[in-house]
A and B are shown apart, each in its own frame.
Chain A
């Protein structure tokens, strides 16, 4: 099996002037106004195109796109349950593989996608994801991270950031909100030896689309962790969905990088970061944080970012925001 690096040799990036016009996801879906998650999904699907089969976990994206009798899906799509998107796509991939090898259907390049939210991926779906990654199925796993169980009403997940207020980790007299640091799903995917792992953000859509395309070219599993702004759950204005996305990267809260055959590559090195307080200021889920809380979080963010740079063999402190991909 080719390494990811080999599969990606000569990769042609999307040109901003010639983006794919296809919309494998149709309008008329029932997402909230300003939903950053469905936007990210739309962008990924444009990058992947119509020769894609999607297995979706229960969650926002499943509910808003498949309320009978309507479907926003223009590609074959299967929803089974909440915790098993990775397991279902394993079966789809194996089915196609067997049928093609046995000559029952013509050979064709098909992209197999398993997708779920942070709940379906990092919590209830961890086992299925781990199994699918370990078995090395040829598929892309998309984690749309809106940082809580949004579809059921904003309950915390292991992906909820420290200090965020959710309904099951509410800020209160005796609580700072979420009391644990966000689980690093990308690192878990890397630990499985996943050939291609990347973090994505819908504000940086060219970067996102290039990464989605790369994921489809790599043989074996690929894992994309996609920052998905949720104005409803984060309690920001709908029009600021992409502002949060941009600030998340500029404050180093959500760094953009790839891990190709285990090698870390920073997509966008932030050398003049904005303070995390600016990111928090427009989201009411953080409004209870004190200056002391924010200072602690800032310190942690800085440390985590430096750790990431070290993994990529980069030193902090070169000038300017440089685009890597």
Chain B
């Protein structure tokens, strides 16, 4: 039986990788991910986890070694964020193209410059087009659960894509929360051993990573794109199975008090829980507001999102990253607007850029977002963006 303990979220993520019986860990330290790799290193050093821990000399090597290991059929794990992700990104694209089910925990941190160790979604957005599956945790229990699920999703032969588990740096990684750590038997029931579809096998010598001549590149990418398209049903299946075994249900888009709501907030990550407090307060005051949270970011669950916001007149989308599109809107708002374009009934959308590099987003801020989008909608302003908490 799993036991519920107070544990730092980073350590819970390491425990998840240990319970998944990973074979190879190849990681480079970067604040605020360090506790994840340190704890895994300890687990290996004390013999609690039988794995090869490769103390690589950079993140670029970390991902390169992950690919090498995953290509042998080893269950492979790594962790990074921000600048580390930026450094390994070249290789991340290749890992996805090679269809290797590497799992990476990302302790979300802002991208330089200026250099900042504090939490936002710059790195999450940077990996957006890399071909990696991305799921987002809101609290410690989710960080643990999602990591276990990530292996199952990644290794499913209908997917065979690498997966990023996003957890907000410091805000989640460095806090102690009550988390039910599943037992080894429980995890074994849920997560079967990794059976690779293709690997570097002396008996069957294949060539992985050949030159993609113009006659094949398009087809190779189409095949990869199809895999990403086919991932959502596998994720939902994995989450339903998890719910059946352990009672905790996860969905690609989560709703909070959205029934009859005219105004909805849209968030992603740990700030969702702050937003929920704001929703509670506003609801108590009689306002028809609700919250929609994105849990599956890549592939983006468009259908589920449209269903979740049905009936809302206006939505305030919070972005914790920038796209420098010249239009001020962040990446999440831009994607949501694109999805809504096809819908006959579209709510009014206002974008709030908030919480960059660890700047606090308070309950009041969320109330302001609800106020802001309602006012903008009423005034029929052209849909735009506001920077929350910026000192003008």
Contacts and interface: CB of A to CB of B under 8 A. Distances in A.
Interface of A: 50-51, 53, 55, 62-63, 66-69, 71, 73-81, 83-84, 87-99, 101-102, 104-105, 108, 110, 127-128, 130-131, 134-135
A92 B72 contact: yes
B329 to A, nearest CB: 33
A95 B57 contact: no
A83 B88 CA distance: 12
Contacts of A101: 50
B30 to A, nearest CB: 16
A53 B203 CA distance: 11
A259 B55 CA distance: 27
A71 B207 contact: yes
Interface string B175-209: 00000000000000000010000001110111111
Nearest to B206: A76
A69 B216 contact: yes
Contacts of A51: 202
Contacts of B54: 90-91, 94, 135
Given A88-B68, A94-B69, A99-B73, A78 B213 contact: no
Interface of B: 23-24, 26, 50-52, 54-58, 60-61, 64-74, 76, 90-91, 94, 98, 193, 200-202, 204-213, 215-216
A45 to B, nearest CB: 12
Contacts of B98: 80
Contact of B64 (A50, A88, A102): A88
B57 A92 contact: no
B69 A68 contact: no
B64 A91 contact: yes
Nearest to A110: B202
A136 to B, nearest CB: 11
Given A81-B91, A87-B56, A90-B61, A53 B216 contact: no
Contacts, number: 164
Contact of B91 (A63, A84, A92): A84
Given A108-B202, A128-B61, A98 B209 contact: no
Given A87-B60, A94-B26, A127-B61, A78 B91 contact: no
A270 to B, nearest CB: 37
B62 to A, nearest CB: 8
A130 B66 CA distance: 18
B151 to A, nearest CB: 15
Given A67-B210, A97-B52, A102-B50, A130 B23 contact: no
Given A76-B206, A80-B91, A98-B51, A87 B70 contact: no
Given A78-B208, A91-B67, A99-B72, A131 B52 contact: no
Contact of A90 (B56, B90, B207): B56
A216 to B, nearest CB: 14
Given A66-B211, A71-B207, A130 B65 contact: no
A76 B205 contact: yes
8 closest Cβ pairs, A-B complex = A91-B68, A91-B65, A95-B72, A131-B57, A87-B64, A95-B69, A95-B74, A79-B209
Contact of A76 (B26, B56, B74, B202): B202
A131 B28 CA distance: 12
Contacts of B210: 66-69, 71, 79
Given A53-B200, A81-B90, A95-B76, A128 B208 contact: no
B55 A135 contact: yes
Contacts of B205: 50, 73-77
A128 B207 CA distance: 22
B49 to A, nearest CB: 11
Nearest to B51: A98
B71 A99 contact: no
Given A68-B211, A74-B205, A79-B210, A98 B64 contact: no
22 contacts: A51-B202, A53-B202, A66-B211, A71-B210, A73-B205, A76-B200, A76-B202, A78-B209, A81-B64, A81-B94, A88-B68, A90-B56, A90-B64, A91-B65, A91-B72, A95-B71, A95-B74, A104-B193, A128-B57, A128-B61, A131-B56, A135-B55
A77 B206 CA distance: 6
Nearest to A88: B68
A88 B212 CA distance: 19
B113 to A, nearest CB: 22
B383 to A, nearest CB: 41
B99 to A, nearest CB: 13
Contacts of A102: 23, 50
B5 to A, nearest CB: 27
Contacts of B202: 50-51, 53, 75-76, 108, 110
Contacts of A78: 67-68, 71, 200, 208-209
Contacts of B26: 90-91, 94
A84 B60 contact: yes
A138 to B, nearest CB: 12
A27 B193 CA distance: 39
A50 B205 CA distance: 9
B282 to A, nearest CB: 50
A29 to B, nearest CB: 12
A193 B392 CA distance: 57
Nearest to A72: B207
A127 B58 contact: yes
Contacts of A130: 57
Contacts of A108: 202
A65 B76 CA distance: 28
Contacts of B68: 55, 78, 80, 87-95
A101 B98 CA distance: 26
A83 B67 contact: no
Contacts of B67: 78, 80, 88, 91
Of A69, A75, A87, A102, the most chain B CB neighbours within 10 A belong to: A87
Contacts of B215: 68
Given A80-B64, A95-B24, A68 B50 contact: no
B252 to A, nearest CB: 31
Contacts of B211: 62-63, 66-68
A203 B70 CA distance: 38
Of B61, B91, B206, B216, the most chain A CB neighbours within 10 A belong to: B61
Of B61, B65, B211, the most chain A CB neighbours within 10 A belong to: B65
